[in-house]
Amino acid sequence: MKIFIFICAFFLTTIVIAQHTIKGIIVDDANIPLKLVTVALLYEDSVFVKGTTTDKTGAFELKEITSGNYILSLSSIGYDSLVYTVFGLSRNMDLGTIILGKKTLQLNEVLVSAAESITKSDKRLLFPSGEQIAHSENSIVLLSYLMIPRLIVNLATNSVSLPGNEIVELRINNVVVGNDEVRALPPNTIERIEYFDNPGLRYGNSNIVINYITKRHLSGGNVRMELNHSLVRLYGNDLLSSKINFRKSELGLSYGNDFRDYYNYRRNNLEEFHFDDYNLKRLEESQKSRNSNIYQNIVLNYNLNDVKTFLNVSMKYQMINAPHEDYNSLITMSDNPVSSIMKDSSFYYVHLPSLDFYLEQTLTNKQKISVNIVTTNRYQNTIRKYEEINDDSSYALITHLTSNAYSIIGEGIYENILRKGKLNIGLRYFQKWTNNDYLMDKLSNSSMQQSETYIYSEYTGNIRNLNYTIGIGGKRSYYLQNNNIGKYSYYNVQPTLNLLYRIMEKGSFRYRLNIYNDVPTLAQLTDVDVLIDSLQIRRGNPALKPGMTYNNTVLTDYNFNNLYLSLQAMHWYSSNFIQENSLLEDKKVIRTYMNSGNFQRLTFNLYSRLALYNKRLILSANYGIHRFTTSNYFYSVPYYSFNAQFIYKNWQLYGILYDQGAGFTGEVKYIYGTGNYLGVQYQKKNYVISILLSNILIDPKMTTENISKIAPYTKSVYERDKMYAFSLKYTMNFDFGRKFSSGYQKITNSDSGANTLGVGK
């Protein structure tokens, strides 16, 4: 009861504080007014307060500012930036005429400089320079210029990834988005980028969160087009987007697609089966097969930005249509010299509409309430046909899966900037209903409900060079399946601690502790058997229980002018860990899931970045090693990436060589393999043309290795033909009548959990 009263008091209490104005006029060395200069006001810890741009007379004015200490930043492309420290603001402030001096670099040879950054206890703020923005065809490419450890930016596919297939979450103004929406974001509208390298509970299972904070448009609009097509096979990726602004409103529409159709899809698989009375080996040797699919994404977005109210509504529709995911192979069994013909073909269709509503209300300059509600419907239809044919016998199965999942997510956050810190209090509720039908020799139904209720509080403060964040949360997880076949109700406490110590303003030392629970997915909990082939069955486990994860991270970094270095060590310990497990039952191998005793992962990562030749040449290297340990297995694997970018006038040459290492979950290793690309780009005014070569002299593959003592296997899917190989890209960006302000969504939610058991190998 006391906790409830405490929370209500924070939500209902407002503080009336005197408000002031900061204004001034900005001119150049010749006393000519400068328009569209970015004026940003930040708190001492660099949290954004408000911003504006100068008008045609060079004037700006920031209103409704409460008393306190601030940082005022003035910046414009081609001019030296100015930063004012404002201590003890207690009245209106007129800065008079401010002169911005021109930068000394030659405009006909635009150089790339390292982005300025500010390290905080929970994140790093990156401020891309005008030169970096000018040479970025989209906002995915922009990330390749920034000092982001471990991040692999693949310019061939406009994607970002981490070694070991860890999860990267992209956001725009704190709204979770996909690659298409980031590509649709013009780089010149970006105010800053927030980089979270250990984001914690609020961001789910994400290992890194990259959040683009954008300028707010008051008028005009933008049209973007990006076409990326292979010149040697049917493979492409296109994007069309437009935005229009009128006073306080913005309306945006984007359409993106990704399509492929190729006939050299290959999968090799070596399986062993150790039954009680005999052993068996089965070799699957691939022949040419077909793979075709198209992904389409449509986003309609509206937002309204008033002085104290920000409203954002997004309607999204995603569709995946995969008529062919076929594997044609010859199968050789150790107990039969005669090979069999295997045909494994799947049709796959998904549609996913969603509605995202967000409202932020400012109570005072230091207090806000934010509410986010997301509703989603995911429909899936999959048909798989599997055959094994030889002269003596044959085996065939058809699996038809239909799934309907509905979810609603609601979250509210109260924020209060206190005298010596910041307090956040949040409440989040998630509810999902899923109904799955698996039709094989008989119909099996799985109806499930899953919910989570999470309440948390977090305080951020600083003591001299030490910044700290302390948080505490409580969660209730609930699950029910098919009239109590599976059920649990689980409570746990989730504390967090984040410490940051600054070293001479050029380096930092950081420690983070994060404790949270791992909840099984509905796919893992499904009480259904799915036939894989004549020897194997995939089965869910309704008896799975949530586990606890303890995450410790230590990171130190330092900037030696043109050289940046960072060293990171991470340790995960999970009790009651959920992993795949194989067992024997009636001459069949059952692939299921179980709670194991524990799981540990230790990762060391070294990142370096060097700028040479007046920062025309940027070299970066990333090297690390993962060590995985469970109660029965251990596994170590290195990973690396080397990246080079060279810019001269309007030309850019870039390349990357990488090995993404591997992941490990108990019995199964996921080896992600190596890759490379080399590209050349020409950019002028509003368009970009580039040519790209991918995976030169290598045949990349994704390997899955099961190390079970009962039924191990090694499966490799070759991916050379899935890449562009040799492609041409054209990008066009056109702005008209744009003026800027600021405003963005603080919280967001999405439902991305797996709902169904896999029906294929």
Is pLDDT larger for residue 222 or for residue 383? 383
pLDDT of residue 216 exceeding 70, the answer is no
DSSP string, 352-413: EEEEEEEEEEEEETTEEEEEEEEEEEEEEEEEEEEEEE-SS-EEEEEEEEEEEEEEEEEEEE
**Which tokens in the block code for residue 97?**
């005429």
Mean pLDDT, the chain, whole residue set: 83
Backbone φ and ψ for 287, nearest 5 degrees, come out as -110, 170
Q: What is the pLDDT of residue 97?
A: 78
Sign of torsion, CA 626 170 137 612? negative
Whole-prediction pTM: 0.76
Element (H, E) at 523: helix 522-525
Distance, in Å, from the CA atom of 81 to the CA atom of 77, rounded to the nearest integer, reads 9
Q: How far apart are CA 248 and CA 741, in angstroms?
A: 10
User: What pLDDT does 77 receive?
Assistant: 76
Asked whether residue 14 carries a pLDDT value surpassing 50, the answer given is no
Q: In this structure, are strands 588-595 and 536-539 parallel, antiparallel, or unpaired? A: parallel
At residue 42 the predicted structure's pLDDT band, cuts being 50, 70 and 90, is confident
Query: Would residue 743 be called left, alpha or beta, if left means φ above 0 and alpha means ψ between -120 and 50 degrees?
Result: left
Structure tokens at 401: 């899966």
Of 446, 544, 445, 405, nearest to 488 (Cα)?
544
Tokens of 507: 């380096």
* Predicted confidence band of residue 342 (pLDDT cuts 50, 70, 90): very high
Q: Which sequence spans correspond to the domains of the chain?
A: 17-103, 220-729
* Higher pLDDT, residue 96 or 14: 96
pLDDT for the residue 45: 58
d(Cα 422, Cα 457) in Å, to the nearest integer?
A: 11
Dist. CA 666–CA 677, nearest whole Å: 33
- CB atoms near residue 87 (< 10 Å): 8
CB 178 within 8 A of CB 158: no
Read off the pLDDT band of 13 (50, 70, 90): very low
- What is the per-residue pLDDT across 692-717, written as a single tens digit (0 to 9) for each? 888 887 777 889 999 999 999 999 98
Task: Measure the CA–CA gap between 588 and 532, rounded to whole angstroms.
Answer: 11
Question: pLDDT band at residue 540, thresholds of 50, 70 and 90?
Answer: very high
CA dist 602 and 550 (Å) reads 12
Percent of the chain with pLDDT over 90: 32
Whether the per-residue pLDDT at 88 is higher than 70: the answer is no
The secondary structure of 131-194, three-state, reads HHHHCCCCHHHHHHHCCCCCCEEECCCCEEECHHHCCEEEEECCEEECHHHHHCCCHHHEEEEE
DSSP 8-class letter at 483: T
Count of H-run helices and E-run strands, the chain: 5, 45
Tell me how far the alpha carbon of residue 517 is from its chain's centroid: 20
What are the phi and psi torsion angles at 667 (to 5°)? -90, -15
C-alpha pair distances (Å), 411 with each of 400, 455, 626, 680, 748: 36, 10, 35, 45, 8
Residue 306: phi, psi to the nearest 5? -105, 180
How many alpha carbons lie under 13 Å from residue 202 in its C-beta half-sphere?
26
CA-nearest of 340, 333, 347, 236 to 287 is 340
Cα(116)–Cα(730) distance, rounded to whole angstroms?
Answer: 30
More confident residue, 549 or 108: 549
Tell me the per-residue pLDDT of 150-201, one tens digit each, with 9 for 90 and over. Answer: 787 877 677 888 765 578 889 887 777 878 888 888 888 888 898 887 665 5
Q: What is the pLDDT of residues 485-539, one digit of tens each?
A: 778 899 999 998 988 888 876 788 989 898 888 889 888 999 999 999 999 999 9
Q: Which CATH class is domain 220-729?
A: mainly beta
User: Residue 79 gets which letter from DSSP?
Assistant: B
* Reported confidence tier of residue 276, pLDDT bands at 50, 70, 90: confident
Q: How many degrees, rounded to 5, is the angle at CA 699 between CA 696 and CA 705? A: 140
Distance between CA atoms of residues 165 and 663, nearest Å = 7
CA distance 36 to 130: 14
Mean pLDDT (whole number) for 467-489:
86
Cα–Cα distance measured from residue 325 to residue 293, given in angstroms and rounded to the nearest whole number:
8
The residue ranking higher by pLDDT, 46 or 243, is 243
How many other C-beta atoms are found inside a 10 Å radius of the C-beta of residue 57?
A: 12
Is the pLDDT at 461 greater than 90? The verdict is no
Contact 750, 176 (CB under 8 A): yes
Q: What is the mean pLDDT of residues 573-577?
A: 90
- Is 355:742 a contact under the CB 8 Å cutoff? no
Residue 81 has phi, psi (to 5 degrees) of: -80, 155
CATH of 17-103, one of 2.60.40.10, 1.10.10.10, 3.40.640.10, 1.10.1740.10: 2.60.40.10
First to last CA, the chain: 52
| Neighbour tally for 627: CB within 10 Å | 15
Among residues 558, 553, 550, which one has the least CA distance to residue 569? 553
What distance in Å separates the CA atoms of residue 139 and residue 239, rounded to the nearest whole number? 13
Percent of the chain exceeding pLDDT 70 equals 87
SS3 (DSSP) at 99:
strand
